[in-house]
């Protein structure tokens, strides 16, 4: 049997394949296979999902090994790496068609502005802890521009949380899912229930502290929830019968591994491991 010539694969079929390979392969592998693959990789359909490597930064730390940045600089023969320049490159490739973006932890304010201006069709957005801590006051203004936003992950609730939800409530009529990490006390729970009462999907990420009273506020105030993921959280017991009864109307309610913990001992997670936006949800 003769071997297949992958260079002659129909371009439309090739684009469909490349849509699924991920950003790192599209940048570091696919363009160097052959000319036809390189041309296909420039199709904006390949860049509708932009999951940026978490650790990229303008000034690499001596004790942090960033394999992606090293390979990128080597492949493209660069002497310096710029987060803003890298974001701009991928936004140019997407040609304003990006619908899912998970931003790097050390994103610059300039890069955030670029995303705000060049991604009018954005539906799913992830912002890790370091980014929210550094640019939290800028986020509400940016969120107001994403009219089609459906789901948001915030790596921290410490900065402008209510202001961000206010802009979502006023400008994003299709919004249905929120993912948060860190701390969800009464103030944060009140913001969720008052500003997003019709929310359908709520992810309280691993190691998030959610006092029992705050969880009760959410269960009482968000009657349209079809999914509430509060696994491995602190502040309440997974076996709490009253909580389970209050959540009986929720189709998918997950609290496995959650337990009581001193609220003063909680920490804000900086890993992107559990910060994934579940873009399969709420796409209707």
Looking at residue 36, its pLDDT comes to 85
pLDDT digits (tens, 9 = 90+) for 74-115: 889 888 889 999 999 999 999 999 999 999 988 999 999 999
Domain assignment present for residue 102? The answer is no
pLDDT digits (tens, 9 = 90+) for 196-238: 999 999 999 888 999 999 999 999 999 999 999 999 999 999 9
Percent of all residues in the chain with a pLDDT value above 70, rounded to a whole number: 86
**223 in a domain, yes or no?**
yes
Under the banding of pLDDT at 50, 70 and 90, the label for residue 53 is confident
CATH number at residue 254: 3.80.10.10
Specify if 264 maps to a domain. Answer: yes
Range 20-29 average pLDDT: 87
Number of domain units in the chain? 1
Residue 3 DSSP label: P
Residue 144 included in any domain: yes
Q: Does residue 100 form part of some domain?
A: no
Q: Please indicate, yes or no, if residue 81 is contained in any of the structural domains.
A: no
For residue 196, give both structure tokens. 């997003």
Question: Which DSSP symbol is given to 9?
Answer: S
Q: What's the pLDDT tens digit per position in 147-196?
A: 999 999 999 999 999 999 999 999 999 999 999 999 999 999 999 999 99
By three-state DSSP, how is residue 240 classified?
Answer: coil
Q: Which residues have C-beta within 8 Å of that of residue 191, sequence separation ≥ 6?
A: 161, 162, 165
Asked whether residue 3 is assigned to any structural domain, the reply reads no
- pLDDT score at 282: 55
Tell the residue number behind the tokens 């701390």, with chain if given: 183
Domain of residue 212: give its range. 123-275
């Amino acid at each position: 049997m003769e071997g297949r010539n992958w260079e002659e694969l129909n371009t439309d079929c090739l684009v469909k394949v490349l849509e699924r390979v991920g950003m790192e392969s599209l940048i570091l592998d696919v363009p160097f296979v052959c000319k036809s693959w390189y041309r296909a990789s420039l199709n904006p359909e390949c860049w509708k999902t932009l999951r940026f490597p978490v650790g990229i930064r303008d000034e690499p730390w001596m004790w942090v090994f960033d394999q992606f940045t090293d390979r990128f600089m080597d492949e493209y023969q660069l002497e310096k790496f710029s987060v803003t320049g890298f974001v701009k490159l991928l936004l140019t490739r997407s040609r304003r068609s990006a619908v899912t973006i998970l931003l790097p932890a050390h994103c610059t304010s300039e890069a955030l502005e670029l995303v705000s201006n060049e991604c009018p069709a954005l539906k799913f957005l992830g912002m890790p802890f370091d980014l929210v801590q550094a640019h939290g006051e800028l986020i509400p203004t940016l969120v107001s521009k994403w009219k089609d936003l459906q789901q948001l992950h915030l790596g921290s609730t410490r900065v402008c949380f209510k202001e961000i939800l206010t802009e979502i409530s006023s400008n994003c009529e299709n919004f249905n899912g929120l993912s948060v990490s860190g701390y969800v006390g009464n103030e944060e729970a009140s913001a969720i229930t008052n500003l997003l009462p019709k929310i359908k999907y709520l992810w309280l990420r691993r190691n998030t502290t959610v006092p029992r009273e705050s969880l009760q506020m959410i269960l009482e105030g968000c009657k349209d929830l079809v999914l509430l993921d509060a696994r491995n959280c602190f502040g309440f017991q997974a076996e709490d019968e009253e909580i389970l009864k209050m959540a009986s109307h929720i189709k998918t309610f997950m609290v496995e591994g959650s337990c009581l913990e001193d609220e003063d001992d909680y920490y804000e997670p900086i890993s992107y491991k559990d910060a994934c936006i579940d873009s399969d949800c709420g796409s209707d």
